[in-house]
């Protein structure tokens, strides 16, 4: 099961856009269709809202792909040499 970490620069990202950014689908529209079809889980609960707000710390599962959302400014996702710049 692939694990993908996605860093966001905003307070939240819409679920359909997260699926696109993570490479699970090719477009936001395809993300909406995937969510509508069912099988998307957020923090281990089924999610049917296409534009649900996903925040850092939340985990999304789409089929056998797991996505972990982190804040872009967190130390774990900051590029080496750029922390505290």
Written as six digits, the tokens of 44 are 């281990």
Residues 16 and 27: their CA atoms lie apart, in Å, by 8
- DSSP code string of 19-43: HHHTTSSSSHHHHHHHHHHS-EEET
What is the tens place of the pLDDT at every residue in 35-72? 999 989 999 999 999 999 999 999 999 999 999 999 99
pTM higher than the cut 0.85: no
pLDDT at residue number 2: 84
For 83, other C-beta atoms within 10 Å of its C-beta total 10
pLDDT at residue number 85: 39
> How many CA within 13 A on the CB side of residue 76?
10
């Amino acid at each position: 099961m692939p694990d993908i970490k996605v860093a966001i620069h905003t307070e939240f990202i819409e679920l359909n856009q997260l699926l696109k950014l993570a490479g699970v689908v090719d477009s936001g529209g395809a993300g909406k269709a995937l969510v509508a079809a069912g099988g998307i889980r957020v923090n281990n609960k089924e999610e049917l809202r296409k534009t649900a707000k996903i925040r850092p710390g939340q985990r999304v599962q789409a089929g056998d792909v797991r996505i972990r959302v982190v804040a872009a400014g967190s130390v774990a996702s900051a590029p080496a040499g750029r922390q505290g710049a």
